[in-house]
Structure 1
Amino acid sequence: MSARNWWLMISVGLGILLNPLNSSMVSVAIPRLQNVFQLDYTGVSWIIFSFYIASSIAQPVMGKASDLFGRRKIFLTGLVVAFIASLLAPFAPSFAWLIVFRIVQAIGTSMMVAVGMAIVRIHVTEKQATALSVLSIFLSGAAAIGPFIGGVIIHWWGWPAIFFINIPFVVVSFLLSWRNIPKENSSLTVAPGTSLRKWFDWIDGSGILLFTMGLVALLIGLLSAKSSGHIALGNIIVSLIGLALLGVFVRHELKATSPFIPLRTFAKYPAMTWVNVEFMLVNVLFYSLFFGVPSYLQMVRHVSEYQTGILMLTLGLCSLVTSPIAGRWIDKSGPGPALLVSAILMTAGSVWLVTLNQSSPVISVCLALAAFGISNGLNNVGMQAALFQSSPKEMIGVASGLFNTSRYLGTILSSLLIGIVMKGKFSFEGFQVLGIILTIIALSLVFMSRRRRKSGELQKL
C-alpha cells in the first residue's frame, strides 16, 4: 500500500476514533457527574443515551449530506464542530447545557464516522480489507480503551478532562486531513439561487424530520422504560408514536424524488439490508458483554474498579490484534469465512458465561472476553467489507451512515436488554439469563453467516 494511502488512513482514523472514544470514555465519569450536578442515576445516564441517540440519527443524515456536498467538506466540518463542543462542554453551567454540548459533540464526531469509511472506500482502491482493518483499529481500539483512559484522566484532572482530551486529536486530524484527503466534485446540481424550499426538498428535509422524530420518540419510550424499571402507559404511548412516525417516514420515502434513505434501493439490494440487521445483532451481543461484565465483576464478584479495568483490557487487546489479521484474511477469502468464525466464537463465549458459577475463578471471565474480542476484530472488518460488496457506489455515504446507525441501535438495545433481565438489580442469576439470551442471538448469527456463505457459493457457480 502506498505512503499516500497510509497518510490518508491515519488522517481519517484520528478523526473517526473520537466517536467511539467519547461514547465509552464517559461511562466512568457517571459517578462524578452524579455528584457534581446532584442527580440520580436515571437522570445522569442521559449523558450516555443522548450521545447514542444523536449519533444514530446524525450518521445517516451526514451520509446523505456527504453524497450531496462532498465527503472532504463534511469530514473537516465535523472536526470543527467536535472542537467547539469539546472546548465548551467543560464550562457548561448546568447539566441540561452539558447534554446540549454532548449532542453537538455526537453530531460532529458522527460527521467523521459517516464519511470516513466512504473516503477510504473511494480513494484506497488496493487492499481495501487491509485498509478497513487499519480503521477498525482506530474504532475498536478507542472504544476498548476508552474506559481505561477516562478513569486515569478523571482521577488526575476531573471530569472536564474527558472533553479536553479530544482537542489534540481534532487539531492533528484537521491538519493531516486538510493535506491528505483529496478534493471532490460535489454531486449537488441545484442552481446557486435556488429557494430554501427547493433546497429543503433536495436534501429531503421532510424525510429527515420524520426519521428523527420517529426514532427519538421510539428510543425515549424504550429508554425511559428501562430507566424507570417498569413499562408505564406513557412509555407505551411514546413508543407507539415513534413507530407511527417511522411508518409515515417509510411511506414518504417511497414517494420522494430525492429520498434521504432510498428504501427502493434497499429493496433492490436485500444483501445490504441483511448486513445492517446482522451488524445490529452483533452489537447487541458485544455491548451486552461490554456493559454487563464490569457490573458482574464489581457488583456480584466484588472486584475493584482498577482490577475490572485490567480484566476488560482482554477484550480490547484481542480485538486490536485480530483486526490486521482479519484484513489480510478477508482480502484473500472475502468476508464470509471470517464472519462465520466470528459468530461461532461469540456463541462459545456466550455459552462460557452460562457455565460460570459463583465459585469460578474471576480470571476465567477472560476466556469469554477473549472470544468476543477476537470476534469483534473479525466483525469490524468483515461487516464493513460485506457492506461495501452489497452497496452501490453512488449511495455509499448513506449506506455507511445507516451502517453506523445499526451499531448504535444495537448498543441501545443491549442496554435495554440488560435493564430488563436484571430488573433494577444486577445479580448472578440475571447474568446467567443474559448469557442464555446472548447464546440464542449468537446462534442466529451463525445461521445467517452460513446462509450468506452458501448464497455466495451459489453465485459463483
Structure 2
Amino acid sequence: MTQDVRSTPAVGGEPPSSLPRRLPWSLGSGTILLGLNSAMIAVALVPMAAEFGDAGVIAWIVSSLYIAAAVGSPTAGRLADLLGPRRTYLAGLAIVLVASTLGPFVPTAELMIADRVLLGLGASVQFPAAMAIIRQQAERRGARPTGAIGVIALCGQTTAALGPTTGGLVVLLWGWQGIFWVNLPMVALCATLVLAFVPKDARRPRRGGAAQLASLDPLGMLLLVVTLVLLMLGLLSLDGAGPAWLFLAAFVPALALFVWRERRAASPFVDVTLMTRYPQFALTCLRAVATFVSFYCVFYGLPQWLEATRGLDAGLTGLLMLPVFGVGALSTWTATRLGARWHPRELLVIGSSAMVVAGAALAFATGPDAPLWWLAIVCALLGVPNGFNNLGNQLLLHRAVPAEAAGSSSGVYRTAQYIGASLAAVVVAHTLDESAPAGGVHAMGAAVCVIGAVLLAASLVALARLRRGRS
C-alpha cells in the first residue's frame, strides 16, 4: 500500500517523502500518447500513401501532428492553470478518443491530415497537465516531485524505444488503421486511472469567457500556424512542383508579424523576447531545431526506405528500428552520468561527432543490397547522437536563462523540437525517392552528416572559446 505523506512532517527542511506511486503512473499512462502516435505511424506511412494514392501527402501527415502539438502543448499549460489540470487532462483524452475513432474511416488524405491535427491537439495536452498536477500535489503534500517526474520521463523514453516495433506488429495484424485502434483501450485505461487516483481540481474563481480566451493569445497561435504552414508549403515546393517563391515570400512577413505580435502581447503565446534577452538561449533553440531535423529524418525516413525500397514488411522494419531507440536510451543514460562532470558542450561534441559518423554510414555504406545485420549496426549508430545532443541542449538551456524564466523557455524549446520534426518531413520528402539511386537513402544520410558537421564545428568553436576564457 502506498504511504500517504500529507501528515508527515518535514525533517531538516526537506520534503519527507515522494508522491504516491499510483499518481505518476496514472498520469504517465496518458503522456505516452503523443510519443506513441508519433512513433507508430513511422511504419504505417508507406501503406497509408498507397491507400490514398499519393506519396506527397506523407510530409503533411507527419508534420500536421507536430504543428498541432506546437500550438496545443503550451495552450494546454495555460488551460491547466485556468480550468484545472485534471479537467484539462481528461479533455485532451476525449479529443484523442474522437480522433482515434474517426481515423480508420477517413476516405481522403486531406481528412487524414485534419484527423492528425485533432490527434496532435489532444495528445499534446497530457504532458503539461500532468506536470501541473504533480507540482500541485507535491506542494499540497509537502513531498518531493523528483520520482514522479522521473516516472513521466520513463514513460516517454519507453514509448520512443518500443513505438516503431509496436507499430510494425500492429500494422501487420490490422493494417495502418490499427495505429488508431490501439489508442482506444489506452484512452479508456488512462481515463479510468486518472478518475480513480488523481485528486479532483480545486474550485476556481469564475472568469469571463472572453478574458480566458484573450489570455491564451489566440492571434499568436493563428500566426504561428500560418507561419509554419507557409514555410512547409514553400520548402515542399522547391522541387519545382509548386510556387515555392510565393509561399516563401509570404512566410517572411508572416514571421515578422508573428514576432511583432508576440513582443507586444500582454500574455504572449511564445515569449520571443527570451531570444533577444538571452542570446545563448536563442542559439540553443536554433541548435535544437537542427538536432531534431536530423533525428526525425531517421525516425520517419528510415522506416519509409526500408519498406518502400528494401521491400521489408512493417514488422521487420519495426524490429530494425529498435536499435535506434535502444541505443538512444543507453546514450541518454551515459550522457547523464558524464554530464555530472563534463561541460554540456563536451556532450554536444560527442553527439555531433556520432551524427557525422552515423550519417556517413547511411550515405556511403548502405544500399538496397546491404545485409540486414549491417542495417542493424547502422541503426545502432544512428541511436548514439540523440542522448548526448538532447541532454547537452537541455543543460545549456538551464544555464542560459534564469529560474524565473524556466517555464517560458521550456515551452519555447519544446516548440523548437516540433519545428524540427516538421522540417524533417520536408527533408525526407526531397531526398527519398524510389527512382533515385539507392532509393534516396544516400541523400538522406548525407543531409544527416552535413547537419552533424555544422553542429560539430559550432560546438568545437564554442568549446575552444570556453577553454580560452578559463585559461
Q: TM-score by structure 1 length?
A: 0.81
Native 8 Å contact 1:63 1:399 kept in 2: no
Cα 1:436/1:50, change in 2 over 3 Å? closer
Aligned to 1:218: 231
Structure 1 residues 220 and 13, CA gap change in structure 2 (3 angstroms) = farther
Deviations 1:24-45 (A, max 9, x none): 3124334544565x53222466
Alignment of 1:368-447 (within 5 A): 368-422=378-432, 425-428=435-438, 430-447=440-457
Match of 2:5 in 1: none
Q: For 1:62-461, list aligned pairs within 5 A.
A: 62-66=76-80, 71-92=85-106, 96-116=110-130, 135-177=152-194, 192=206, 194=208, 196=210, 198-223=211-236, 225=237, 229-233=239-243, 235-298=244-307, 305-330=314-339, 333=342, 335-356=344-365, 358=367, 361-422=371-432, 425-428=435-438, 430-450=440-460
Question: Would the aligned equivalents of 1:210 and 1:245 in 2 still touch at CA under 8 Å?
Answer: yes
C-alpha change, 1:114 and 1:371, in structure 2 (3 Å) is farther
SS in 1 for 2:269: coil
Aligned length in residues:
451
Partner AA of 2:66 in structure 1: Y
Between the aligned partners of 1:457 and 1:2, the Cα distance in structure 2 is 41
CA offset digits 1:293-338 (Å, max 9, x no partner) = 3444455555555443322221122123343444444456564443
Work out the CA distance in 1 between the residues paired with 2:340 and 2:194: 26
Q: CA deviation at 1:22?
A: 0.8
Deviation at residue 250 of structure 1 after TM alignment: 0.9
Q: 1:121 to 1:323 in 2, by over 3 A?
A: farther
TM-score, normalised by the number of residues in structure 2:
0.79
* 1:42 paired to 2:52: no
Q: 1:272 to 1:79 in 2, by over 3 A?
A: farther
Quick one: higher RCO (CA 8 Å, sep 6+), 1 or 2? 1
Q: Deviations for 1:404-449, whole angstroms, at most 9, x for unmatched residues?
A: 3222222222222233345673423843343333222112222444
Q: Deviations over 1:154-181 (max 9, x none)?
A: 3323443322212333344344455766
2:215 and 2:268 map into 1 onto residues whose CA distance is: 8
The alpha-carbon distance between structure 1 residues 344 and 182, as it changes in their structure 2 partners (threshold 3 A), is: farther
Rate the CA distance shift 1:257–1:350 in 2: closer, same or farther, 3 A. same
- Which residue, 15, 19, 22 being the options, matches 2:37? 22
Contact 2:231 2:247 in 1 (8 A): yes
Structure 1 residue 455, shift from structure 2 partner: 7.3
Partner secondary structure for residue 4 of structure 1: coil
3-state SS in 2 of match to 1:232: coil
453 and 58 in structure 1: CA distance in 2 versus 1, 3 angstrom threshold: farther
Secondary structure of 2:44's counterpart equals: helix
Q: Structure 2: which amino acid aligns with 1:210?
A: L
Q: 1:137 to 1:375 in 2, by over 3 A?
A: farther
Any stretches of 5+ residues in structure 1 without a counterpart? Answer: none
Assess if the C-alpha contact under 8 Å between 1:132 and 1:384 holds in 2.
no
Percentage of matched positions with identical amino acids = 27
